Structure 1
Amino acid sequence: MRLWLGEDERRPDPAPARADARKAVVAGTVGWLVVLAGCLVFRDRLEDAGLAWLTTAAIVGVALGLAGLVVVQLTRRRARRAPDEGRSGPA
């Protein structure tokens, strides 16, 4: 078994897999919303157990998820515009 291959022996790298990051971010944000709802329902029990900070953590998780959705959408929009800008050169 050889551990190193020369450049002429390597197969080309596969094309990157296409994935929709929005689905992953939405799933995580929905998860945090479920946790937040549970924290609000059981607020008194969490405070008695000294776990009131979980509510704050869930709020931060939802906020970061929403920020992530904005970033993903802006990235997708920028990626869609990039090929078009290259084609609009002088004729």
Structure 2
Amino acid sequence: MKKWTPLHEAPEPLEGNVVATITGGTVIWFVLFLVQLPFYGWFDDHGHLWWLWAPLAGGGLGLIGIWYVRKRDEAIRRAAAARAADGAEPAHPA
């Protein structure tokens, strides 16, 4: 098992505009669904109907993701404001 153990520390997580990233991905999923919708009959005839429903599921999960990352960002901002009000240093530099 030792040969699979990393010899270096894990890098810091990348932070960016997560809300915009998730929103963009969600829009892409819904566009893929709408683009494929006119071909419903072809998908049904060839047994590929899941190709139509997969992007719809991705868009639905993306809506949950948007809700989640917005709440996460709000919680991070509240925690940073509370630390600033207490005069404490931030846990990690942003």
Provide the secondary structure at the position in 2 that maps to 1:42: helix
Q: Indicate which of 67, 72, 81 corresponds to 1:70.
A: 67
Could you state the TM-score of these two structures normalised by the residue count of structure 2?
A: 0.69
Q: Indicate which of 17, 20, 27 corresponds to 1:20.
A: 17
Q: Kindly tell me: are residues 63 and 16 of structure 1, through their superposed partners in 2, closer, same or farther at Cα, counting changes over 3 Å? A: closer
Q: Deviation above 3 Å: which 4+ runs of structure 1?
A: 15-18
Could you state the TM-score of these two structures normalised by the residue count of structure 1?
A: 0.71
AA in 2 matched with 1:44: G
Q: Kindly tell me: are residues 39 and 17 of structure 1, through their superposed partners in 2, closer, same or farther at Cα, counting changes over 3 Å? A: closer
Q: Which has the higher contact order (CA 8 A, sep 6+)?
A: 1
Paired residues, number: 76
Aligned counterparts of 2:48 and 2:27: Cα–Cα separation in 1: 21
Bigger Rg over Cα: 1
Provide the secondary structure at the position in 1 that maps to 2:24: helix
Q: Kindly tell me: are residues 33 and 16 of structure 1, through their superposed partners in 2, closer, same or farther at Cα, counting changes over 3 Å? A: closer
For 2:37, the equivalent position in structure 1 comes to 40
Q: List alignment gaps of at least 5 residues for structure 2.
A: 1-6, 87-94
Aligned counterparts of 2:13 and 2:41: Cα–Cα separation in 1: 49
Identity rate, percent: 28
